[in-house]
Amino acid sequence: MTESRHALIIANDRYADQGLKKLKAPAQDAAALERVLHDPQIGDFEVEVVHNASADLMRRRIQGFFSDRRRADTLLLHFSCHGLKSESGELYFAASDTEPQLLAATAVASQFVRGCMSGTRAGRSVLFLDCCYGGAFSRGSASVRASGEINVLESFAKDEPASGRGWAVITASDSMEYSFEGNELAENSAPRPSVFTHAVVEGLETGEADLDADGNVSLDDLYEYVYRHVREQNPHQTPKKAAELQGELHLAHSRRGGIKIVAIPSPPSLRAAMNSDEFLTRRGAVTELCTRLQRPELPVAEGARQHLAEVAQNEVQPLADQAAAALSEIRLAPSPDHLDFGRVPRGSHTPKRSVTMHGPPLARHCVVQPKQPWLRVDPTRGGMEVHVDTATPGHLSGDIALKGVADESVIHVEAEVTPADEDGPTKPEPHVSNDSTPPKPRTADKRRTVVIGPSHIPSKPKEPPKTTEEPKGTDGTTPSRRAPAFAGAALALAVTALAMLVMTIQRGVAAVVARADAGVGQVEDTIHEQGALTPLIVCLITGAVTLVVGAFARHDLGTRRESYTTQAASATHTMTSVAKGLAIPALILAVLVGIAYLVGSGHW
């Protein structure tokens, strides 16, 4: 069953009731969290954002979010809003139309959320609460009482869900602590992400939350990272966690420390050769590892790279040098590594500059991450194309980070964006202010992480496949069909050879029976009369041609593997193997029949 990942972000920062002060963080939180969760290279979640909704709409969206799920689904619900406590001590989440005196009718009860989590069929459910429990109340307002304490986790950890494999709750703060927005809760401070959500986004986006450096950000990794980050920023705010999970829950992928490929280990025979006492045997094994390092199948090449790294450290000097030389060929080698677009008018479309990645397939496979929002990168067959967004005038200087399996590299980019001509259409200048309010982020400013390489073309998130688009070879070009065609021909010839052998045997048996019934004449004459020699000759010819055509198909596939899709390569291997399995026995039997005829014809 295919796993699917869904996230619902509820962000409320404006309230009709004057007793609930306006919050500054939720809108920023929702945008930042949606970006990293939706990114297929990080969270790969389907994300829905509900902003400043009424209590009724919130309940509908929450119940719909947890309904009609499967056991393979992972669900993540994030609240960024006020948290309110009723007179009976129950926790409520404030909606845009919440009236503090009517919490049961105009707010969303924590019991309602817990009931939805308990009733879902999803395998894993995660709840993030970035709610301002103590800061929900305007100073001097009598409409809401902030006295007393409430343990937030107790509102969710009372019962284990009735179905599914597990659940987890992480809160920005507990009891009546403040959930800080920046360094303070001042009424007139500028909008900024909250301390808690900022830590979540930063940990996922940078990969720093991958504390064990295994390529994935688990729930435990993220909580430990967020806890340390929040406590460093505000010692009075303490994130809390409660969970009932079977196994480890991975919330996101991490690019920290380079790209990771699941390696196929070297074959046992090759490892046995490397453990041989004979120097020449070990040298032959190292040579074979160097050959496997050049393979287009990245898991095979990565397995060879890891084995060669062991050889470079542990073997005698000649073999260690040979391994080190092979490993040096898979280092990232972008050309050029410095791009200067010169002077370009503001708002114009800059020409794309090509960057070529050199080396074997494993060296060309890497993660590309622009470090500045104005940089644009598109993958190509041999590397990438780079252009810049010219919306903002001035000198632009930035880097594109490349992370491969063995090392990292940087492409430096510069451009000088000049003001547009006075006669041309004017464009609004970016808002500049002396206060700390940042300009509203544009969609085009989002940095996009892509993967380039011989077998990985980055997918655009959640776009339906174009059924009219031709499949590509592993090098990104239109795939060749030569090897599968020859493999199909070889299979047809093998079937023909087998059919001719069966016909030969049938006619030979008929000739012997006819001779026995007649009682006169030679069997050789009867064989000629039955026409048994013709299919025998055809069987020998087609069997031999089968082996030749199959060998050609495998040779073409081996020398031009990057020109074939994975399906074409698999089909070629299957058809040539079946053809060989049919042709060789048919040839052997046909040769034996022919020898028997030649030897016995003089005595029949």
391-411 average pLDDT score: 86
pLDDT score for 262: 79
Residue 520 has pLDDT above 60, yes or no: no
Per-residue confidence (pLDDT) for residue 479, from 0 to 100: 58
Other C-beta atoms closer than 10 Å to the C-beta of 577 total 14
The verdict on 49 and 186 lying in the same domain is: yes
pLDDT band for position 486 (cuts 50, 70, 90): confident
The predicted pLDDT at position 206 comes to 81
Percent of the chain with pLDDT over 90: 24
- State the total domains in the chain: 4
Query: CATH code at 411?
Result: 2.60.40.10
Give the residue-averaged pLDDT of 125-148: 56
Same domain, 233 and 320: no
Domain presence at residue 466:
no
Distance between CA 75 and CA 77 in Å, rounded?
7
pLDDT tens digits, residue range 214-231? 678 899 999 999 999 888
| Domain co-membership, 343 together with 316 | no
Record the pTM: 0.46
Higher pLDDT, 286 or 468: 286
pLDDT at 381: 80
> What's the mean pLDDT in 158-177?
65
pLDDT at 75 (0 to 100): 95
Separation of alpha carbons 471 and 461, rounded Å: 19
Classify residue 101: in a domain, yes or no: yes
Spatial contact of 54 and 464, defined as CB atoms under 8 Å apart: no
Same domain, 68 and 197: yes
361 domain residue, yes or no: yes
Average pLDDT of the segment spanning 507-516: 77
Task: Note whether 14 and 97 are within 8 A (CB).
Answer: no
pLDDT of 51 > 90? The answer is: yes
Of 197, 227, 253, the one marking the end of a domain is: 253
Domain boundary among 294, 328, 362: 328
Within 10 angstroms of residue 520's Cβ, the number of other Cβ atoms is 6
For residue 142, pLDDT beyond 50: no
**23-39 pLDDT per residue, tens:** 877 888 889 899 999 98
364 vs 450 pLDDT, higher one: 364
Given this model, what pLDDT does residue 186 score? Answer: 36
d(CA 185, CA 14): 15
Tell me, yes or no, whether 470 lies in a domain. Answer: no
Please check whether residues 142 and 225 belong to one and the same domain. yes
CATH number, position 140: 3.40.50.1460
pLDDT tens digit string along 533-550?
888 898 899 989 999 998
Joined tokens for residue 499:
């059919």
My answer on whether 291 and 390 are in the same domain is no
Clarify whether residues 34 and 181 are in a common domain: yes
pLDDT mean over 245-255: 80
Cβ count within 10 A of residue 49: 16
Check whether residue 11 and residue 54 sit in a common domain.
yes
What is the Cα 419 distance to its own chain's centre? 40
Confidence of residue 113 (pLDDT cuts 50, 70, 90): very high
Does residue 429 belong to any structural domain of this protein?
no
Residue 518 has pLDDT above 90, yes or no: no
pLDDT at 302 over 50: yes
Answer whether residue 428 is part of any domain: no
Provide the domain limits for residue 340: 335-422+443-452
What pLDDT score was predicted for residue 550?
87
What pLDDT sits at residue 436? 40
Per-residue pLDDT at 147: 42
The predicted pLDDT at position 530 comes to 74
Asked whether the predicted pLDDT for residue 53 surpasses 80, the reply is yes
Domain end, chosen from 295, 312, 328, is at 328
In a domain, 475, yes or no: no
End-to-end CA distance of the chain: 67
Average pLDDT over residues 587-602: 79
CB 472 within 8 A of CB 227: no
Crossing angle (nearest 10°) for helices 566-600 and 533-559: 150
Q: Could you tell me if 118 and 27 lie in one domain?
A: yes
Q: Quick one: average pLDDT of 226-247?
A: 84
Q: Are 320 and 354 part of one and the same domain? A: no
In this structure, is residue 81 part of a structural domain?
A: yes
pLDDT-derived band of residue 52, with 50, 70 and 90 as boundaries? very high
Q: What pLDDT score does 180 carry?
A: 52
Same structural domain, 505 and 556: yes
- pLDDT the model gives residue 135: 35
- 25 and 110 together in one domain: yes
